[in-house]
Amino acid sequence: MITSSTDIEVRYAETDMMGIAHHASYLPWLEIARGNLLKERGISYAKLEESGIMLPVVEIKMNYRRPATYDDIVTINSVIKERPFAKIQIDYELQKEDQIIADGYSVHAFINQSGQPIKAPRIIKETLAKEFD
């Protein structure tokens, strides 16, 4: 299992008139969390894209259990539970003061610059493989 933890501070611009972080604001947080998960293993998503490999989101699922609001610190725990082949799934658990406020997952395909699906690139497979053994 591959894990990572990222802290987010809820921005004022992310709140809505209900007084809480808007549900769409959570998706960019997850994006930061999985970027950090890769970065901690020496993989820069920015460089992956420069080399012509992209990981678009093909599926997303979120459960919103408790609200977050402006200035809250939200801790996002990300986990990769299975070796990636054609796709990669990342699971997320979001906590605020030790309470789970949301959870969910994202699934990503690997595509090249012409938008064609490709297999998981070697750098991802090899880097992650170490932690699955």
Answer for the pair 68, 21: CB distance below 8 angstroms, yes or no: yes
**Catalytic annotation present for 16:** yes
DSSP string computed for 90-133: EEEEEEETTEEEEEEEEEEE-B-TTS-B-PPPHHHHHHHHHHH-
- Calculate the alpha carbon distances from 27 to 34, 35, 62 in Å: 11, 12, 9
What part of residues 5-64 is at the interface with a second copy (CB under 8 A)? 9, 11-20, 22-25, 27-28, 31-32, 35, 44-46, 49, 54, 56-64
CB nearer a second copy, residue 23 or residue 119: 23
Footprint (CB under 8 A) of a second copy, residues 110-129? 115
Which residues bind to a second copy, rule: CB under 8 A?
9, 11-20, 22-25, 27-28, 31-32, 35, 44-46, 49, 54, 56-65, 67, 69-71, 115
